[in-house]
Structure 1
Amino acid sequence: MSRPRLNEARTKIVATVGPACDSVSQLAALIEAGVDVFRINSAHGSISQHAEKLANIREASEQTGFPAGVLLDLAGPKIRLGHLSSEPLACPLGARFAFVRGNDSQREGELTSTYPRLIDELEPGDRVMLADGMVALQVESVTASRAECVVVAAGEIRSRQGVNLPGVKLSVAAMLPSDIENAIWAAQNEIDFISLSFVRTPEDVRSLKDLLNSYECRALVIAKIEKPEALANLERIVQEADGIMVARGDLGVEIDVAETPVAQKRIIATCKRLMKPVIVATQMLESMHHSPRPTRAEASDVANAVLDGTDACMLSGETAIGSFPQESVATMDRIMYKTEQSIVAYQNPEAVDVDDMHRATHAITRAGMEVAEAIGSKLITIATHSGGTAWVKSNTRSLIPTVAVSDHLASVRRMNLFWGIEPIFCEDIADTSHLIEQVTRWACDQTENGKNVIRPGDTMVVVSGSDVVAGADNVISVHTLS
């Protein structure tokens, strides 16, 4: 088993599966390069195609011995252009277009969308952003059947490209029928994470959780922050969700692009305080679609996300349709690893909001880390059934290598999203001697520059979760590796 490795980035990598990487051999290569979680984008393809991707991911995990997590990204109420009369369609400055009802543009200068109530909800003065914000229209007048617009930022558009309406209050539901269908499929197929697009309120998150609970699904729900309303309700959304994604693509269109970097930092800081994992996504290594090397600005973008405290960074088109998917993953891992070396080890961490349920776990994991630092331990091991103790431990941001061992494969896959946690499957974690033997065997295989990272005589601190040791809350023990 080559992964997990102690000499890889502690910040996790999420990679989108697409035509450039969807075979078993390609997925296995991405796992070896550093992918922790694979994303299936439900906006592209049918459920049968999603199932094929999932089967290939599971087989690649079997081949590599590394149970990669799987995230299904629900498309949500994404508004798109209908079919254009010609494409690409040039939109010169000052040109006039009209949104009309229907699915296909019948006349030159007319546009349609996938949202039937678009014309009803537009008002004069509203902005309509097309093609990820590259083209901007301003609404001049609205009738029962048409919304007349003028181009205020020129460019080209194509059929099915996205439509963003900054500041426009839409009545569209949080989940469309297709999202519900995809979520049910995910619940029935042990998907580890499900992300919800265009979240506006905590009730949006709750609606998805209620649906999953009805199928007894334990997938973690990731709320994507990409609307101004989500920023206004950020604290409550983070509290309701199991994790957060900073979806900078649509967020950078829905708000002023100049505000996006500060919004990203605010979202990450809120997630750290409330102890929720956070993923930074979109255009992390955009130039690696067609180049084997990123720009300096992209490398700095990844590094700054790591320094801000993100748990994971996500690759989208770089792995899904790019020419260098494996190189993109390896490059991101290398940037993260180098950046993490500059992080000062655990010292007076930022205050976090710990609820009563996790208060003892937080105290014990923090104490275990302090013991490890005091005696110079080379390794911390977390024994956990559910992964909850590992989740709490990841928020300490200690640089001491940490292995989390679980006897539930689903928990192992979910822990792939937790910063600094290297998850391992073990059949019986209640048997301490068996647990120590398994971790010791794994530790002996860890090398860097041809030398063993951990040697006989090194100490290891073991923190057992409250669900592992009968009659105890959490337990700390120190062991010498032989």
Structure 2
Amino acid sequence: MSAARLLPQRARTKIVATVGPACNTPEMLEQMMLAGVDVFRLNLAHGELTEHSRIVTTIREISERLKKPVAALADLSGPKIRLGTLVEDPIYCQEEQMFRFVRGDAASDPYELVCNYEPLIDEVKVGDDVMLADGTITMEVVEKTDDTLTCVVVAGGILRSRQGINLPGTKLGVETITPRDRDHVRWAAETDLDYVSLSFVREADDIRQLRDLLQAHESRAMVIAKIEKREALENLEEIVEVSNGVMVARGDLGVEIDVAEVAAAQKRIVKTCTRIGRPVIVATQMLDSMTKNSRPTRAEATDVANAILDGADACMLSQETAVGEHPVTVIKMMNRIMLATEKMLCDDLSQMHRPEEIGLVHPVTQAVVSGATRTADLLNAKLMVMATRTGGTALTKAKIRDCIPTIGVSDSKAALRRMCLYWGIIPIEGAPVHNGIQLRRFIDKWGADFGLLKPNDRVIFVTGGGIMQSAEYIVVVHKVEAPEGTGTSE
């Protein structure tokens, strides 16, 4: 495998791609990996665990063969409130038409609706909105009895059986982690998944429960909080603090809050993650038209660019890769948009989102990484190398935005895969992290092989805690020598 294929011109912003019927073969997964995918998302709302297991095994085998770390993210489906079977399917809901939600499993006439969430009639109040069909249909509750909710259609559309129900103004008693999710968490632990994302997050305790569940199954997976509920926005600070990362889940969020507020909410979420020091993924409909078309709309290209300008660490593709007609093409297009946007950032570094202080990062780590980055900038270093045991030092570097190419090395494959979500960090395997001289020789050769380093270039090494004995951190300034030399360090 040539160096050019293994390390194409890659964006610093990471790409998360959803696996589905359009791309679940070994050949397609390899092409997507080579095109720029950093994290593969497994949507556990669809498919069987046996098939997801096969996909994870295939991803790991391809990653091992290419010597290219790639992470896997399990996306828990969470509680899904859905309609039951309609008497007439589909039915067109006209404005000012009246419908009734009734208890039970079956409706008796076309204007009766049932759902899979039994307490719905108890918890919804008069005046609440009921959103159906991904938010395209809005009903308002105008009357309530012990056994019925009478609703008037405010915004009409076509309604089908088993479509989702959103209740943006209702405080629901439903458990965030369902029994099915618990089975999926056990599977994620047994499969050694890198990230697990939680749907329907409303408060920090939801994240704590998932972490406790993962730890009970001896899993090292990082927890991603999906922000898609109004309550999550109200408790955003605490949720971000207890999470390992955040996803701006704009699909359900755009139904739970006014769609006009989504852009402002996205910026607020990304800004909070930047300040606290958590990676953040922007998701849903980023290049949606490419599900069918070979080119995105100008608005979609601008949407991806604006997510990067906001400070997102990663952008996610959903149906574009899962069921789309051009999964590899859409990945290449996203990478192109990212590269063009990042060039603008690098041309004007004042636009980079750099927190003055990263909330939950140890002050020593911040001082060392910030100082090393500043040193690299002053010396016009061509590369920075973060040697880390868990990936924490690399995450701190990712949040100190700059345009110096940065390598992450570790003796832990889990840490390398974790770094696949960190902005601007390129994780590489096989580095001798516990021997400084051998590590510098390894990077000299690696950099020369990929055309990133030549003799007399400077490289800054930052060794995180736990790598070298009797040292909290070590920063080394290294000058590359000719291939037969050993290089010099200062």
TM-score (norm 2): 0.94
User: What is the deviation of 1:115?
Assistant: 1.2
1:352 paired with 2:354, answer no
Partner of 1:280: 282
> What residue is the counterpart of 1:429 in the other structure?
433
Distance 2:353 2:262 in 1: 29
CA distance in 2, matches of 1:102, 1:40: 33
Alignment match, 1:206: 208
Supply the distance in 1 between the matched residues of 2:106 and 2:54 (Cα, whole angstroms). 31
- Does the 8 Å contact 2:310/2:353 carry over to 1? no
The residue that corresponds to 1:470 in the other structure is 469
Out of 389, 396, 403, the residue aligned to residue 392 of structure 1 is 396
- State which of 325, 328, 332 in structure 2 corresponds to 1:326: 328
Paired position in structure 2 for 1:242: 244
Structure 2: how far apart are the matches of 1:431 and 1:106? 74
- Secondary structure of the residue aligned to 1:477 is strand
Partners of 2:343 and 2:57 in 1: CA distance: 36
1:195 alignment partner AA: S
Please give the per-residue CA displacement for 1:24-77, whole angstroms capped at 9, x wherever unaligned. Answer: 110111111110000001111222222122122222323432221000011112
Deviation at 1:278, TM superposition (A): 0.4
The equivalent residue for 2:271 is: 269
SS where residue 380 of structure 1 aligns? strand
Residue in structure 2 matched with residue 180 of structure 1 by the alignment: 182
Query: Is the Cα contact below 8 Å between 2:67 and 2:429 reproduced in 1?
Result: no
Report 1:63-142 matches (<5 A): 63-142=65-144
8 Å CA contact 2:354–2:399 kept in 1: the answer is: no
**Aligned position for 1:418:** 422
Query: Shift in Å at residue 143 of structure 1?
Result: 2.1
CA distance in structure 1 between the partners assigned to 2:54 and 2:87 by the alignment:
34
Secondary structure of the 1:425 match is coil
- Distance in 1 (alpha carbons) for counterparts of 2:92 and 2:214: 44
Show the counterpart of 2:50: 48
Structure 1 counterpart of 2:64: 62
The aligned residue for residue 16 of structure 1 is: 18
The count of corresponding residues between Structure 1 and Structure 2 is 476
Cα offset, 1:282, TM superposition:
0.5
In percent, how many aligned pairs have the same letter? 48
Paired position in structure 2 for 1:376: 380
**Closer, same or farther in 2 for the Cα pair 1:105/1:352, shift >3 Å?**
farther
Task: Name the SS of the counterpart of 1:80 in structure 2.
Answer: coil
Q: Which residue of 1 aligns with 2:151?
A: 149
Matches of 2:444 and 2:53, distance apart in 1: 37
How far apart are 1:100 and its partner, in Å?
Answer: 2.1
Native 8 Å contact 1:372 1:461 kept in 2:
yes
Cα deviation for residue 4 of structure 1 reads 6.2
Determine if contact 2:201/2:207 at 8 Å carries over to the other structure. yes
Secondary structure at the aligned position of 2:395 is classed as helix
Retained in 2: the 8 A contact 1:286–1:318?
A: yes
Change (3 A) 1:406 1:106: farther
Query: Which residue is 1:459 aligned to?
Result: 458
Contact map agreement 2:121 2:147 (CA 8 A) in 1: yes
In the alignment, structure 2 segments of 5+ residues that lack a partner are: 482-490
Range 99-108 or range 400-409, more displaced: 99-108
Q: Distance in 2 between matches of 1:385 and 1:64?
A: 22
Q: CA deviation at 1:228?
A: 0.8
Q: Which residue number corresponds to residue 222 of structure 2?
A: 220
Give the residue type in structure 2 aligned to 1:392.
T
User: How far off its partner does 1:428 sit?
Assistant: 3.0
Letter in 1 for 2:163: Q
Deviations 1:164-217 (A, max 9, x none): 111100000111100111011101211000000110000111010111111221
- Is residue 190 from structure 1 mapped to residue 192 from structure 2 by the alignment? yes
Query: Match of 2:486?
Result: none
Pair 1:93–1:239, CA change in 2 (3 A): same
Structure 1, residues 314-373: CA drift from partner, whole Å, max 9, x if none? 000000011111111110111011100111347893322444x62111111111111111
| C-alpha distance in 2 between matches for 1:68 and 1:231 | 30
CA distance in 1 between counterparts of 2:186 and 2:106 reads 31
Displacement of 1:93 in angstroms is 1.6
For residues 392-446 of structure 1, the C-alpha deviation after alignment (integer angstroms, 9 at most, x for no partner) is: 1101011100000111111111100000000012253101222223322321232
Measure, in 1, the Cα distance between the counterparts of 2:209 and 2:259.
30
Match of 2:485 in 1: none
Residue 104 of structure 1: how far off its partner (Å): 4.2
**Normalising by the residue count of structure 1, what TM-score does the alignment of the two structures yield?**
0.95
The answer to which of 62-71 and 360-369 deviates more is 62-71
The one-letter code sitting in structure 2 at the alignment partner of 1:480 is K
Give the drift of 1:453: 3.5
Return the offset for 1:106. 4.3
Please, which moves more after superposition, 410-419 or 98-107? 98-107
Partners of 1:11 and 1:336 within 8 A in 2: yes
Taking the aligned partners of 2:77 and 2:353, their CA distance within structure 1 comes to 40
Q: Distance in 1 between matches of 2:312 and 2:132?
A: 29
What 5-or-longer segments of structure 1 have no aligned partner?
447-451
Counterpart residue identity of residue 474, structure 1? Y
